[in-house]
Structure 1
Amino acid sequence: MDCPSCATKIETAVGRLPGIEDVSLSYHSQVLKLRLDEAATPRERLEGTIRSLGFGIEDMDRIRVVAEGETDTDVPAPATQPWWWTPKARLTGLIGLLVAVGFLVSWFAPSLGDYALVPAALVGLVVFGRRALALARVGSPFSIEMLMSIATAGALIIGETAEASIVVLLFAVGELLEGVAAGSARSGIEALTALVPRTALVIDGEIAREVPASRLEIGQVVLVRPGDRVPADGEVVDGESDVDESPVTGESVPVPKQVGSAVIAGGINATGALQVRVTRAAADNTIARIIHLIEEAQASKSPTARFIERFSARYTPFVILVAVLTVLVPPLAFGADWHTWIYRGLALLLIGCPCALVLSTPAAITSGIAAGARRGLLIKGGAALETIGRVGAIAFDKTGTLTQGRPQVTDLVSLTGNERSLLGMAAAVENGSSHPIARAILDRAASDGIPLRPARGQKALPGRAAQAVVGGKLIEVGSPRHAVESCGPGNLPADRITTLEDEGKTVVVVLADTQPVGLMALRDEPRPDALRGIAALRQLGVRSVMLTGDNARTGQAIGRKLGIEVKADLLPENKLSEIAALKVGAPVAMVGDGINDGPALAAADVGIAMGGGTDVALETADAALLGNRVEGVADLIALSRATMTNIHQNVAVALGLKAVFLVTTLLGVTDLWLAILADTGATVLVTLNALRLLRRAK
């Protein structure tokens, strides 16, 4: 398929067959999904209907036979035809040859000039006319094939054989160029697929066996040598190295990996050998999930694309009506020459196809999404890509988003008992939690050699505290505000809390049966690129606001470092209120770590997850920054704005060319063979312009 109109034709045809439901066809991935009742419509009839429209079809799940002793890597993948040897290219070559021969015959034998070019026109008329009739039978009477066939037949009838042959040749050339350009637009997904190596080295005792990467199983350990690509998502179990993950995440600096570090498929091992335990099967690794989400995103239609489709559905019948009136009114009403006005009416038919207009938006959206994916910017739909560029404010979560998300315990203040007892109680409560503060407390307890005490009834109070019963007492680890609500302000060392918070530290209070037993202070440093990211947003004219449940003094300390507006002491419901207030003037985006910011991400017009490829980051938000870079937010906005500019340019080209040719045709300036350029020429220009967005990935 060369343009979204092709997909619409197939969906219309298939949808009219009995026993078929839930038809979904992605122009970009070339995948047709449907529910088929073979009792009503045999599979052979379904495939025959699609082939009658001029399209090939094959089963995605076709089983490939592998001979004994071979692996699936020994069997060559199905060959992809070069564009110059496709059926369209061969047809174009045949018509071009007939046109050239026809002109030569006309040159050497002028008396045969009226007939020499008829074979070229007839070949095109037979091929495209059959397709036009097939489309008309299945519900698409106003296809470009029908319009072109009528124009060609009409030109032959009125004796314009040269015009008829040139029309079919230019139409064939235009279809060929559309196919080449469409293939280039799909290269983004193919490039991602190629990142995963075909083979992997599975460690079996003292040896490493080469096996197909597609057959790796969870739990197997693979050897990744320096220079090798990581064959699967996994966890390092032995070795240290730097891994270049830029092909997947866009992170330009190699990431240090050691025992316990997560690695993703497609990364390039740079320095030392690694042994990696596979944690995801090939069909479920990061790249596979990214490709799946990109295909879904490309299949979803943006608001602009839906509007263009509604407009084009009315545009083509309108132009056909104008063409009919052009043929009939001047000769009947004013006695004008029939030949002249039939010729002009036929030319108008060629202007009536909306292919370039329909393609103007999805071509740009596809290129924009592919360009983002190559830079670690995963955008999950055309609607999100459109909206991101219009946001007036960006709301940031603090922990794990603007900061590194790895706070460390810096101070222990015991009010009763000793520091070890304080840390032991807090660690028992936080055991099993994935919250950054919980991890920091558990890490400190482990480094101090404090054993974890048993706890029961563990419970989280969002935005307030974590609690559990430890040693028969209800132990709570919570914010100072929660402590004040529980035991009153007079029982807390307010001065010490203020001093710690002024230093940019987060303070938690440990309570035993609602009585304070100690304070713990933690500090989480800003991400290295956070300052640059906020500055880049400021240059784009976008307001940045940090929303944090932390106290105001700690929040302001981080805010001063980054130059960002701060809203602190916010419970989850307060964050929703702040986002609602920001949405009054313009769309708002929320950036969070994808773990505990679900409600806020959903409340914003666009949710952006800092995720590094985690499940939550890839599934919960409208976009994800796989490289965990704050600067990626500005990159998203810039990409969205560039995409929308590209769409506006495409629409202007598509409509502008048609408007010019409409006027020139009515005035008799434009020939039939030039009128065909109003569609095929505009389609090629629109596609090539959209492909410029792919350069942003470099």
Structure 2
Amino acid sequence: MSDTSKKEPCCNTKPQSKTDESLSVQSKPIKLVPIDTLKKQPAGSCCASSSCSETQVPSATHNAENGAKGSCCASDTPCTATKTAQQHQGENEEAISLHEYRIQGMDCPACALTIEKSLVKMSGVKTIQVNYSTAKMQVAAGGDISPALIKKQVEKLGFKAESLDHNEKSQTFIIDGMDCGACAVTLEKHMKNVPTVEEVRVNFSTGKMHITHDLGVEAITKEVSNAGFEAALSTGRKNEVSVSKKGASTTTVSGILLALGFFGSFNGVSPALITVLYAASILVGGYKPARSAYYAVKSGSLDMNVLMMAAAIGAALIGEWFEGATVVWLFALGAALQNKSIERTRESIRGLMNLAPQEAWVKAGQNLSRKPVEAIQIGDTIVIKPGEKIPLDGEITAGSSTVNQAPITGESLPVDKQIKDIVYAGTVNENGSLEVKVTKLVKDTAIARIIHLVEEAQEQKAPTEAFIDRFAKIYTPIVFVLAIFVMVMPPLLGWGPWSEWLYKGLELLVVACPCALVISTPVAIVSAIGNAAKNGILIKGGTFLETAGAINVIAFDKTGTLTEGKPKVSGLYTVNGTEAELLAVARTIEEHSQHPIASAIVTSASERGISALGGEDFTAIAGKGAKATIDGSDHFAGNPKLFQELNVSLGEMESRIQSLQEEGNTLVIVGTRSTIFGIIAVSDTIRTATAKALKDMKSVGVEQIVMLTGDNAGTAKKISDEAGVDRFFAELMPEDKVQAVKQLQNEGKIVAMVGDGINDAPALATADLGIAMGGAGTDTAMETADIVLMADNLEKLPHTVKLSRKALSVIKQNIWFSLLTKLAALILIFTGDLTLWLAVLSDTGAALLVILNSMRLLRLKS
């Protein structure tokens, strides 16, 4: 296949989670060498042995294989990621701490190298590893250098570093009372001004604040309260709920006071008393937003609380007490309803925390004891009774059962489990008692990794969301200034009374709040990612959700993706003797081989109840087959080339051999030095769900399905016809798959690549979207791909595309609805048909409808 792609520039702005092993800064993790070990090495060397590949990150010219003892590299280029023993001489021996960061802003591997070269020069830095593929950095540093100093140095280079260290200073809080993204900005700015707070990140979509600090939990919750919100420390455990229930009561009291004043105005009640009732309604309902508005202004933010309180106070100043009270009450009511609605989207991930039990039965000898999962160590044996949820990942050591893996993989049918099979935390043991040897701690289980990755995904901004945030930052101040202009200029020019234009300006202030627009995208993304996670699909960010909704071509690796990846006997063709005799001889020869084709033949014979014959002198013939002595004569099982070299005539079988090979079969001929017994055809079989999955892909709007394979054209055509593939590329090496993907992109297609996440890493990285299968059992797949299908089948792929397309549709609906609502309100202001309370209702109502529309994604069925 010819390469029709154009040469790409070095700096590729594709998302950083892509993995291209050919471009990786280093191919294997570094070994962090203690300082005292380095001091024992001779001056001028960086490794104890002749190879530096395990103690440093190679520079661009580094060649570990040629490195001579006494020098870091064969070339004169110094090591970039570790210091030599000579450099370390004179430094005090000290404890070394390992710090981990997520790096944002790297466009290509050269950026990773830039960071390494800069940071390794810092005093106190011992070793450093920057991995462009995973966008992560590990730094081993002495006690005299702080994580904050490392972060500051990275930011000086033009990148952003986010600490991933999990220590006592880093905590996560659930925040209640945030009505939109502007509230998150206000809280973030406020907390950054608190002394001893090193780092803070507030996310409106998930309702969480991640903070690194030296204060107590009570001090943090008090500071959050000062900013107008409520906070509670997140435990990461089940039944974690929202913290504040006060909003409903104050809204109710405010509403009662408003109603008393309104009805009192029709019953001869003193105007002064009515004014007092309206004022009390404003004070009760407006206390919380007023406090939030104060801290927003103090932090330099113009959020919805500022705009609403300005409108309420302005209404009171011009004597419109009823309008002011109505504004406050409607705003408080809308905020309460929004919080209640969006909390349901946040619970889509909290529900995953309920999957795994918090305690387990631990077996010690013949005794069983109940222990918290946090107290259970790797190697412990736990007992799971029928009907119980499995608490930790592990390997079955005794018993057999069927296990419902739907919570992890989304598989609809239970899976049979035997001794040595792997089970996952959060799955359900349906029948039969199991003894399981724990293989992963609670924090490292598959469900824990899923929860962590999904929460990270929900906190990443999609391109649409980032654009809207930038738009809102410009839109709000402009409309705020315009509102002041409307209040002041027309009266000064004599175009009307002050009260009229002040009222219009207040309406414009309310309309200026872009709440519905700002939340139009993040709530939809949170809902879609939550739905996907519950269906065994891990979408690692809004960017990839949007890309999945736009793809029009999907390329599949063949072996292990479209097919089972396990050869099976597809046909028996005898020349002399019966099929049973043919298989008996073949099993005798192949039983001692570990080759997949040999295993397929042995399995087929075993299934038919055919035993091996007495054989001896078993010999493997490299690349051709195998030999054994049976009844004193040599018998062979191998490819046609083997028998051609033995000068054994294939006779009339030659035409059959050619046609079988053209149909995509691998052939094993069985015979002696003079006689052919027959031919065994072996082929890889299509997965049972493949044809239906590909058909469903077409029904959800994918234009073209492509297969990439290293097999010959005959095999590729056979598989593509059976599976319903539109187009295939055959006889490809791994690097050729990359070129095939590029060719599809050059044809103007948005391409998704589906593979196992390991062997197909370069092609997955090149495609616009990388999708890996079988993530539940493969850490690499979960780390490298943009989307991970937790089950090892394609059944959930159509739902992934369907969900992504639906999410894009919902986002567009939300944006257009928000913009049209604002436009209609602006027009009605200047025609004089909009009242202040209607302006509030249009704003809060639009936001609520946007949330409810987004929540439909939670209920989308696969």
Cα separation, 2, equivalents of 1:212 and 1:191: 20
685, 690, 694: which one aligns with 1:530: 690
Do structure 1's residue 243 and structure 2's residue 403 form an aligned pair?
yes
In the TM superposition, what is the alpha-carbon distance from 1:188 to its structure 2 partner? Answer: 1.2
Q: Which residue of 2 aligns with 1:610?
A: 773
1:547 to 708, 714, 723: 708
The aligned residue for residue 628 of structure 1 is: 792
Which moves more between the two structures, 197-206 or 654-663?
197-206
For 1:657, the equivalent position in structure 2 comes to 821
| Aligned-partner Cα distance in 2 for 1:227–1:454 | 51
Matched, 1:11 2:188: yes
Amino acid at match of 1:554: T
Aligned equivalent of 1:32: 209
In structure 1, how many angstroms separate the alpha carbons of the residues matched to 2:837 and 2:477?
21
CA, structure 1 residues 10+508, in 2 after alignment: closer, same or farther (shift >3 Å)? farther
Cα gap change, 1:61/1:561 in structure 2, threshold over 3 Å: closer, same or farther? closer
For residues 225-271 of structure 1, what are the alpha-carbon distances to aligned partners after superposition, in whole Å with 9 as ceiling and x for unaligned?
22222222222222222222122221111112122222222222223
Q: Which deviates more from structure 2 when the two are superposed, residues 402-411 or residues 368-377? A: 402-411
Tell me how far apart the structure 1 counterparts of residues 268 and 781 of structure 2 sit (CA, whole Å): 70
Name the counterpart of 2:541. 381
CA 1:30–1:506 in structure 2 vs 1: closer, same or farther (change >3 Å)? farther
What CA distance in whole angstroms lies between the structure 1 residues aligned with 2:206 and 2:492?
A: 50
- Counterpart CA distance in 2 for 1:176 and 1:419 is 74
Tell whether the 8 Å contact from 2:588 to 2:612 is kept in structure 1 after alignment: no
Q: Distance in 2 between matches of 1:279 and 1:442?
A: 32
| Conserved 8 A contact 1:607-1:622 | yes
Partner of 1:50: 224
Distance 2:780 2:680 in 1: 29
Tell me which of 224, 238, 254 is aligned to 1:95: 254
Partner of 2:509: 349
Deviations 1:49-97, CA, capped at 9 Å, x for gaps: 43321123344469xxxxxxxxxxxxx9888468xx7121122122123
CA RMSD across the alignment: 3.8
Which structure shows the higher helix fraction?
A: 1
Is the contact between residue 315 and residue 324 of structure 2 (CA under 8 Å) also seen in structure 1?
A: yes
- Relative to the length of structure 1, the TM-score reads 0.82
User: Which runs of structure 2 are paired with 1:159-558 in the superposition (5 Å)?
Assistant: 159-408=319-568, 427=594, 498-506=658-666, 522-542=682-702, 543-558=704-719
Distance (Å, rounded) in 1 between the aligned partners of 2:232 and 2:453: 23
Q: Do the aligned partners of 2:527 and 2:855 also contact (CA within 8 Å) in 1? A: yes
Contact 1:611 1:624 (8 Å CA) reproduced: yes
Q: TM-score, normalised by structure 2?
A: 0.67
Distance in 1 between residues matched to 2:511 and 2:648, nearest whole Å: 82
Partner Cα distance (1:598, 1:501) in 2: 30
Contact 1:2 1:182 in 2 (8 A): no
Q: Aligned in 2, Cα 1:193/1:521: closer, same or farther, shift over 3 Å?
A: farther
User: In the superposition, relative to structure 1, how do residues 371 and 43 fare at CA in structure 2: closer, same or farther (>3 Å)?
Assistant: closer
Q: Deviations over 1:9-64 (max 9, x none)?
A: 2223334557655543333443333455x5xx9998766543321123344469xx
Change (3 A) 1:507 1:330: farther
Per-residue deviation, 1:425: 8.6
From 804, 808, 813, give the equivalent of 1:640. Answer: 804
Check the 8 A contact 1:3/1:182 in 2, yes or no. Answer: no
Quote the residue 1:575 is aligned against: 737
Specify the code of the residue in structure 1 equivalent to 2:247. Answer: K
Aligned to 1:406, the other structure's residue is in SS state strand
Structure 2 vs 1, CA of residues 101 and 441 (structure 1 numbering), >3 Å: closer, same or farther?
farther
Describe the superposition over 1:412-458 as per-residue Cα deviations: whole angstroms up to 9, x where unpaired.
99xxxx9789858963xx7xxxxx7898799899998999x999xxx
Identical columns (%): 39
Q: Distance between the aligned counterparts of 1:239 and 1:570, measured in 2?
A: 44
Describe the SS at the equivalent of 2:565: coil
1:592 maps to which residue? 755
Tell me: CA distance 1:506–1:214, structure 2 relative to 1, closer, same or farther (3 Å).
farther
Shift in alpha-carbon separation, 1:419–1:79, aligned structure 2, 3 A: closer
Q: Mark the CA change 1:495 to 1:219 in structure 2 (over 3 Å): closer, same or farther.
A: farther
Alignment of 1:111-150 (within 5 A): 111-112=271-272, 113-140=274-301, 142-150=302-310
What do the CA deviations read for 1:313-334 (whole angstroms, capped 9, x no partner)?
Answer: 1111121122122212321223
**Following the alignment from structure 2 to structure 1, what is the Cα–Cα distance between the partners of residues 398 and 495?**
91
Per the alignment, do residues 114 and 410 of structure 1 end up closer, same or farther by CA in structure 2, a change over 3 Å counting? Answer: closer
Please state whether the residue corresponding to 1:208 is helix, strand or coil.
strand
Aligned to 2:144: none
Instruction: Call closer, same or farther: CA 1:271–1:123 in 2, change over 3 Å.
Output: closer
- For the residues of structure 1 that align with 2:744 and 2:648, how far apart are their CA atoms? 37
What's the CA shift string for 1:311-364, capped at 9, x where partnerless? Answer: 111111121122122212321223411111111111110111111111000010
Q: Could you say if the C-alpha distance between residues 262 and 437 of structure 1 is closer, same or farther in structure 2, counting changes exceeding 3 Å?
A: farther
Q: C-alpha deviations, 1:181-215, integer Å up to 9, x for none?
A: 11101121122111112332223333433323343
Aligned pair in 2 of structure 1 residues 42, 260: CA closer, same or farther (>3 Å)?
closer
Mapped to 2, the partners of 1:246 and 1:624 lie a distance apart of 15
Say which is worse superposed, 611-620 or 638-647, in terms of deviation.
Answer: 611-620
Residue 671 of structure 1 deviates from its aligned partner by 1.1
Deviation at 1:667, TM superposition (A): 1.6
SS at match of 1:101: helix
Contact 2:205–2:522 (CA under 8 A) maintained in structure 1? no
The DSSP-based 3-state class of the residue aligned with 1:628 is: coil
Residues 383 and 281 (structure 1), Cα distance of their counterparts in 2 relative to 1, 3 Å cut: same
Deviating more after overlay: 241-250 vs 171-180: 241-250
Structure 1 pair 18–697 and aligned structure 2 pair: CA distance change class (3 A): farther
Unmatched tracts of structure 1, length 5 or more? 63-75, 431-435, 456-464, 467-478, 510-518
Q: Which has the higher contact order (CA 8 A, sep 6+)?
A: 1
2: CA distance between counterparts of 1:240 and 1:108?
Answer: 81
CA-CA distance at 1:501 after TM superposition: 3.3
Residue 575 (structure 1) shift: 0.3
Kindly indicate whether the alpha-carbon contact (under 8 Å) linking 1:375 and 1:697 is maintained by their aligned counterparts in 2. Answer: no
Unaligned runs of 5+ in 2: 1-177, 574-584, 625-637, 670-678
CA 60–448 in structure 1, closer or farther in 2 if over 3 Å, else same: farther
Q: Distance in 1 between matches of 2:567 and 2:781?
A: 20
User: Which residue is 1:473 aligned to?
Assistant: none
Mapped to 2, the partners of 1:440 and 1:16 lie a distance apart of 67
2: CA distance, partners of 1:627 / 1:2: 37
